[in-house]
Amino acid sequence: MPTKIQLAELAAHYPAVPVIRQFTLTDFQPLHVIEVLRQAGEPCYLLTGKPKTTEDGYTFVGLHPKEALTYRNGVLTSETAAGTTQTETAIQPALEQRLAALRTPKLPGLPPFTGGLVGYFAYDYAQYPNRTLKPHSADPLGLNDVDLLLVDQVLAYNHATQVVTLSQIVPSADFEQRYDAVVAALAQQEAQLRRLLDQPAPRYPFAITTPLQLQFDLPTFAKQVEAAKQHIVAGDIFQLIFSNPQHATLTGSLLAAAPQLFKSSPSPYQFYFQHGDFEAIGASPETLVNRQGTQLFTYPLAGTRRRGKDAAEEAKFANELQTSPKEQSEHNMLVDLGRNDLGRVSQFGSVQVTQLRQLLKFSNVMHLGSTIESQVAADVSAIDIVNALMPAGTLSGAPKVRAMQLIDELENNKRGLYGGCLGYLDYNADLDMCIGIRLAYRQGDTLVVHSGAGIVADSLPEQEYQEFNNKARSVVNALLTTDKELNANVVAD
């Protein structure tokens, strides 16, 4: 943990520095904290990155964002304590200015996120850095293309060491004047946190009031598959990721379903995000992009089978997935696309595939996964990196731009967070963004569960339609289980 003298020296070279307080808490439940914070009515988030059993497995909880930023149709909306403003502006310089204003050093021994931007870039955000995309999709829910919280206070919990880190970003110009007060405030936050954990967690209502229903039935989907395959035969594309959202109406908060989803789906990324009347929960297995210092990583997943009912069926499905020429071809295509995307922001010749087509097992499905690494190019910003990788080829297709144009025509609805990315952009230039899959989101009283299937030349509509259900099963089961348990309890009371 950096001392005052060390931070003072760093403050001479950086616009801001992180002041830190660390302490141990056994049996700490981050969800308990977010459940209490949610009552205050502020935008909030919870994000777990990497498997919880590893040394770098952290959960981050938001504390009092300085600013909430949304972007839609070229208009940036900023919410601060001083009020709300709307400006027609380009999004990239607006975000880069905020990160640069409090640029911090990367310090050893600290959590990977101590402050910066946290939230999501929707799938539909890709139209801004890529002007060849001119989407005409319907937007009945009024979904934002960007929704980010600017935070200078973060609670980070290391699941392996059981250490809580409270961080406060302090502008270097104010460091000497504010340091003692910040240290005292962090000590007070620790005391408040310990008292908070002694309180019973609030119970959030949650009820699905109309059944979940897929947007496209099988006959309609079959026609869309045929249309996509005609484009494949014509040479327009090689693959297209077609999505089929389920819609329902609900009352209450998605936070009520988070414990069930996180327990049943121990994915590398688990998240809850809330801002205004938008909420999202998810358990994503896939990294869009991760930056640690000068290293970049992306981990494409492509190729899917459901988990077996017993060991014999499990082995059968795993063998099918690993030996299928269709799955291997599809995966290799998307690995090549990932290499090309990463290469746009990497040093020449540094992009390498370090793991290829590994079998990865999750709660309800298994995938083939690969690892691609590189060295970041000079003068590349966090937003440059997001722009280069968004959206993942595993959620769009190949070639990416043409596949996205056809998705816009065939689906004819904004995807929102599905197929986009969610995570953090740190003041120190590191970032970690997962792909928006295995999720549910709510806009107003509309609930959306989104999943997709990869369409290639020999795709069979019935099999691909089943893939929607396979991929959505963990989220749907968590929602239905929560609905049943909470409302059964209400009746019993």
Check residue 56 and give its pLDDT. 66
Check residue 195 and give its pLDDT. 87
Higher pLDDT, 136 or 243: 243
Per-residue pLDDT tens digits for 65-105: 999 999 999 999 999 988 999 998 999 999 999 999 999 99
Tell me the whole-structure pTM to 2 decimals: 0.92
- For the cut 50, the answer to whether the pLDDT of residue 492 exceeds it is no
Query: Which of 95, 83, 158, 94 has its CA nearest to residue 424?
Result: 95
Average pLDDT over residues 241-269: 93
Q: What are 290's strand-pairing partners? A: 297, 432
Average pLDDT over residues 253-263: 93
Per-residue pLDDT tens digits for 51-69: 555 556 899 998 789 999 9
Among 49-58, 116-125, 377-386, 388-397, which is the least confidently predicted range? 49-58
Check residue 367 and give its pLDDT. 81
- For the cut 80, the answer to whether the pLDDT of residue 365 exceeds it is no
Check residue 205 and give its pLDDT. 92
Q: What is the DSSP letter of 138?
A: B
Question: In CATH, what is the architecture of 4-492?
Answer: 4-Layer Sandwich (3.60)
Percentage, residues of the chain above pLDDT 90: 68
Higher pLDDT, 431 or 367: 431
Per-residue pLDDT tens digits for 135-184: 778 999 999 999 999 999 999 999 889 999 999 999 999 999 999 999 99
SS3 383: helix
Percentage, residues of the chain above pLDDT 70: 97
Instruction: Match 């943990």 to its residue by tokens.
Output: 1
Per-residue three-class SS string for 232-262: HHCCCCCEEEEECCEEEEEEECHHHHHHHHH
Check residue 490 and give its pLDDT. 45
Check residue 8 and give its pLDDT. 94
Query: Which of 313, 30, 358, 348 has its CA nearest to residue 163?
Result: 30
- For the cut 60, the answer to whether the pLDDT of residue 491 exceeds it is no
- Mean pLDDT of all residues belonging to the chain: 90
Alpha helices in 130-239 (DSSP H): 175-198, 218-233
Average pLDDT over residues 217-245: 94
Contacts of 430 (CB under 8 A, 6+ apart): 106, 112, 113, 291, 292, 293
Check residue 51 and give its pLDDT. 56
Check residue 443 and give its pLDDT. 96
Q: Which helix (H) or strand (E) holds 338?
A: helix 325-343
